[in-house]
Amino acid sequence: MTDAFVIAVDGPGGAGKGELTRRLAMRLGFALLDSGAIYRVLAYAARKAGLALFDEDSLVEEAKVLNLSFEAQDDGVHVMLNGEDVSSEIRSERTAEGASRVAALPRVREALLQRQRDFCMPPGLVADGRDMGTVVFPKADLKIFLDASPEERARRRVLQLTQAGREAVFELVLKEIEERDARDRNRPVAPLKPAEDAVLIDSTHLNIDEVLEKALELVRSKGIKV
């Protein structure tokens, strides 16, 4: 690994990792890795190619040739697949569910490992995912596990969907969140769990500014001036 300062931010979907990582990366001038987007793009590309989401051999081949890039634009980071902007397509519940299925396959994870490590560069990286602190960057300088109750995560997701003009039923969203959590936590390879040296932040009763402040406090405690 390079002499970059690595911050691993892990936790379940909807705990606020995306927003925290984005703000931390901007504030610190660090690179950003949205590892969930990689699994989402793979699931999306696999469906488009007509692959079954349990066909590990074909998914590994797809993962190896996946032509994926992240482009910073005025309104945020866009995810490109073969030059096509798939940012909104990969945010659907269907793709999230597909992502958590392909992500449960050990050889698929292995095939995507180096691609994720390549994001690490000086002065630093903020990496968002499920196994950033346990598998991808086990020597990360700071490991944060960001959690929130399933009900609060479902409430936030419903708000996000309705603000985007989409319909959302709380009970259904909660059920999807609980199913995805169970799959991510119970898989044999790289399950969602805090690294032994991770600091837990529970965002159930905190807003994003409060979460950011707690995270910055941890960054300062590691000797980084911010």
- List contacts with ligand C5P (CB under 6 A): 13, 35-37, 39-40, 96, 99-100, 103, 129-131, 180, 184
CA distance 87 to 77: 8
- Buried/exposed code over 204-223 (b: 16+ C-beta within 10 A; e: otherwise): eebeeeebbebbbeebeeee
**Three-class SS state of 73:** strand
Rg, Å, the chain Cα set: 17
Smallest gap from Cβ 207 to ligand C5P, in A, equals 20
Nearer CB in complex with ligand C5P: 87/124: 87
The conformational region for residue 54 under phi > 0 = left, psi -120 to 50 = alpha, else beta, is: alpha
Smallest gap from Cβ 172 to ligand C5P, in A, equals 17
76 token code pair: 């945020």
Nearer CB in complex with ligand C5P: 39/119: 39
Nearer CB in complex with ligand C5P: 200/226: 200
Q: Pairing between strand 76-81 and 84-85? A: antiparallel
Axis crossing angle, helix 93-102 with helix 170-186, rounded to the nearest 10:
10
Nearer CB in complex with ligand C5P: 124/133: 133
Nearer CB in complex with ligand C5P: 34/124: 34
CB 211 within 8 A of CB 187: no
Smallest gap from Cβ 222 to ligand C5P, in A, equals 22
Smallest gap from Cβ 166 to ligand C5P, in A, equals 17
Smallest gap from Cβ 52 to ligand C5P, in A, equals 17
Which residue has its beta carbon closest to ligand C5P? 36
